[in-house]
Amino acid sequence: MHQANRASDKSWPHIEAVIFDWAGTLVDFGSLAPTQIFVDAFATFGLHITLAQARGPMGLSKRDHIRTLLADPAIQAQWIQAFGRTSADADIDAIYQRFMPMQIEKVAAYSQPIPGAVQILQTLREQGIKIGSCSGYPRQVLDVLLPHAAADGIAPDCVVAGDELPAGGRPGPYMALANVLALGAGDVRRCIKVDDTTPGIEEGRNAGMWSVGLTLSGNEVGYSPAELAAAAPAEVQARVARAAQRLTQAGAHYVIDSVADLPAVIQQIQQRLARGEAP
């Protein structure tokens, strides 16, 4: 039986839903919007953090991201030098309150779809596969991002924000499972989580899903489109290899450059389901 006929046969195991991350996955090539804002927000408190440090906890909810950054010994040392004491929960809140308006102001400027994203969503819909999404962004930020993304053709069936579930965010399974509930998917083993961060991959694994990691478009590689165009091929290859290793260690079943490469992975997963395999 041909693959296309099998996919249309409901008695044959098929993918029910694909759940995407946002920045670095569907929009914002290089996951630039959140990264620079963390640098800028910490700078208002007199703390210097690098883009590499800012990228480290990416994928967590933004408050947890700030908490993790402040726990870094080098950044905590800067805090103690500046304020004469260790940081407390109130300081996390203060940085978060400084971060939020800066992120809201800038997120729309980074709403452009990643090449191939619009086409993959269209293909999934044509195949009857439901489209979910979740993000480390809080709801206030997503409410600004979503209309811009939708105007460009990025409009999942479900969107879950990083601050709206009492159980918490990544690497827990909660946002992915909230998508399963909202979409009415009947089997997590027939769902795919697609993400460019290690907490996002762990989220998918913890939810019992197939997890697909993205390298070139995402946080782990971290190139803007212009930087990628100017980078030496050997440097690009090295960054992609490091990203692939990190995502694989986090539990990714597959690692690809971007969502543009997802159709081939979906086909492979369909074939594995047909053989009785599970994530």
The CATH number linked to 101 is: 1.10.150.240
Give the pLDDT score at 35: 87
Do 13 and 58 reside in the same domain of the chain? no
Question: Which H/E stretch holds residue 132?
Answer: strand 130-133
- Better-predicted residue by pLDDT, 70 or 35: 70
Does 4 score more than 60 pLDDT?
A: no
Do 120 and 40 reside in the same domain of the chain? no
Give the pLDDT score at 13: 60
Do 64 and 117 reside in the same domain of the chain? no
Question: Left, alpha or beta for 221 (phi > 0: left; psi -120 to 50: alpha)?
Answer: alpha
- Better-predicted residue by pLDDT, 78 or 56: 78
Closest C-alpha to 270, from 5, 74, 63? 5
Give the pLDDT score at 59: 83
The answer for residues whose C-beta is within 8 angstroms of residue 248's C-beta and 6 or more apart is: 213, 255
Per-residue pLDDT tens for 182-236? Answer: 999 999 999 999 999 999 999 999 999 999 999 999 999 999 999 999 999 999 9
Residue 66 banded pLDDT, cuts 50, 70, 90: very high
Percent of the chain with pLDDT over 70: 95
Of the candidates 66, 89, 108, which is a domain's last residue? Answer: 108
- Residue 125 domain-assigned? yes
Question: Which H/E stretch holds residue 40?
Answer: helix 32-43
- 254-256 vs 17-20, strand pairing mode: unpaired
Range of the domain at 152: 3-31+110-274
**Angle formed at CA 111 by CA 110 and CA 116, multiple of 5 degrees:** 115
Residue 168 banded pLDDT, cuts 50, 70, 90: confident
Question: Which H/E stretch holds residue 237?
Answer: helix 233-249
Of the candidates 93, 108, 123, which is a domain's last residue? Answer: 108
Give the other-Cβ count within 10 Å of 26's Cβ: 27
CA atoms of 248 and 72, how far apart (whole Å): 24
- Residue 76 domain-assigned? yes
Provide the domain count of the chain: 2
Identify the active-site residue in 9, 28, 40, 62.
62
Identify the active-site residue in 9, 10, 21, 106.
21
Give the pLDDT score at 57: 87
Does 21 participate in catalysis according to the annotation? yes
